[in-house]
Amino acid sequence: MKKRSIPVNTPVIGDEEKANLIECVETGWISSEGPFVAEFENRFSDYIGRKHGVAVSNGSAALDVAVAALNMNPGDEIIVPTFTIISPLLSIVRSGLKPVLVDSNLENWNMQVGDIASKITSKTRAILVVHIYGLPTPMDEILELCNRNNLYLIEDAAEVHGQTYKGQKCGSFGDISTFSFYPNKIITSGEGGMCLTNSAELADRCRKLRNLAFEPNGRRFVHEEIGWNYRMTNLQAAVGLAQLDKIDQHLTRKKEIGFRYLDGLRNVPGLTLPLRSYNEEENIFWVFGVICKTEEQKEALCKGLNDLGIGTRPFFWCMHEQPVFLKKGMFEGFRAPNAELMSRRGFYLPSGIGLVNSDIDFVCKAVSSLILNNEAV
């Protein structure tokens, strides 16, 4: 096959984003004090169904702020999936808290909800849900566990902008939820993130923590606690606002991409494809992931695709196998067979908003050819 250049993600930035950026430059409002920031906070929180939005510099910053805002004590435990990007764990560990890990469900790739109850101890203070790759984590049992055990619920909804669970948008369930607007997300502000909550008190805490923990009514430059400079700029918010106007068409296009991949790869042997839907919620295919029958097949397939100019990314590596945590003596003896299988055998294909159908078809033909011709077995 003739080589092409198909990156793993292609964002789409249009005239509306450019016009907002020009307005920022021409008015001089480029910092976090600009008016686009508050407008983005208000409109995005309204879209998700929350009372308060606090924009920050990126999704990892949102997690730092969300965890710190809950004022838990050192040694308190937070239950979290082992199959996730490292950001939630970093926020937990840096706050002096203890992450307690849960394996994954091989059907929907989210945390194994049935395992959570056995992880709850007298030190448990929160469950941190990470909605994975475009399908929502089933929330009913988690909400019941939080209510019964008086636990906080933190939602990392970075990968599911606009996704719903039983008609309610992901990111609207938790005491506090976080979003990322990195370029590969459903909508982007370049970098950027947001904390959402219905609690005015938590929102005030988040605003304080993102702004070096300045005391709102105290003496300027006199600080009572540790905070961060995690403010979102007006430039970021300008892009995010224009993207928010397009979120429905972005979601439609993501589904079109996912469904086209499902059709194009349905007869390829040895691949586990993502579900089209789960619990009556259609997949929004934040990324289009596949799981190979062996780790060797994954490595050979990714190499073959990359040789053809097709970008790929491996699945997340499990938290209990991260060297940075193992060096600290964490997670000794913990095993998560489902998550380990996914991290070893899974990767995702190009699936950005800017991907065109002819490129999807080319990728499908390349995957099929590499497997059927025994170049990735």
Q: Which pLDDT score, from 0 to 100, does residue 14 have? A: 97
Q: In this structure, which CATH number among 3.40.50.510, 3.40.50.2020, 3.20.20.105, 3.90.1150.10 belongs to the domain 247-372?
A: 3.90.1150.10
State the average pLDDT over residues 166-174.
Answer: 96
Q: Which residue's entry shows tokens 């190009």?
A: 350
Whole-angstrom distance, CA of residue 250 vs CA of residue 218: 44
What is the DSSP code string of 95-154? TT-EEEEE-B-TTTSSB-GGGSGGG--TTEEEEEEE--TTSPPP-HHHHHHHHHHT-EEE
Contact 179, 163 (CB under 8 A): no
Binned at pLDDT 50, 70 and 90, residue 252 comes out as very high
Q: Is the pLDDT of residue 332 over 60?
A: yes
> For 177-214, what is each residue's pLDDT tens digit?
999 999 999 999 999 999 999 999 999 999 999 999 99
Q: Which pLDDT score, from 0 to 100, does residue 1 have? A: 80
Q: Which pLDDT score, from 0 to 100, does residue 375 have? A: 60
- For the entire predicted model, the pTM comes to 0.96
For residue 153, what are the β-bridge partners?
127
Whole-angstrom distance, CA of residue 162 vs CA of residue 141: 22
Q: Return phi, psi of residue 368, to 5°.
A: -60, -45
Domain(s) labelled CATH 3.40.640.10 in the chain stretch across 15-244
Contact 88, 128 (CB under 8 A): yes
Strand residue runs (E) in the chain: 52-56, 77-81, 98-102, 124-130, 152-156, 164-165, 168-169, 176-180, 193-197, 271-272, 277-278, 281-282, 288-292, 313-314, 346-349
329: Cβ–Cβ under 8 A, 6 or more apart, which residues? none
CA dihedral 163, 172, 69, 151 (to 10 degrees): -110
Binned at pLDDT 50, 70 and 90, residue 376 comes out as low
- Tokens representing 346 are 């899974």
Contact 208, 65 (CB under 8 A): no
**First-last CA distance in the chain:** 18
Binned at pLDDT 50, 70 and 90, residue 55 comes out as very high
Whole-angstrom distance, CA of residue 52 vs CA of residue 332: 39
113: closest CA among 149, 157, 80, 78? Answer: 80
State the average pLDDT over residues 351-357.
Answer: 96
Q: Which pLDDT score, from 0 to 100, does residue 105 have? A: 97
* DSSP code, position 220: T
How many C-beta atoms lie closer than 10 Å to residue 323's C-beta?
Answer: 8
15-244 folds as Aspartate Aminotransferase; domain 2 (3.40.640)
Domain(s) labelled CATH 3.90.1150.10 in the chain stretch across 247-372
Q: Which pLDDT score, from 0 to 100, does residue 70 have? A: 98
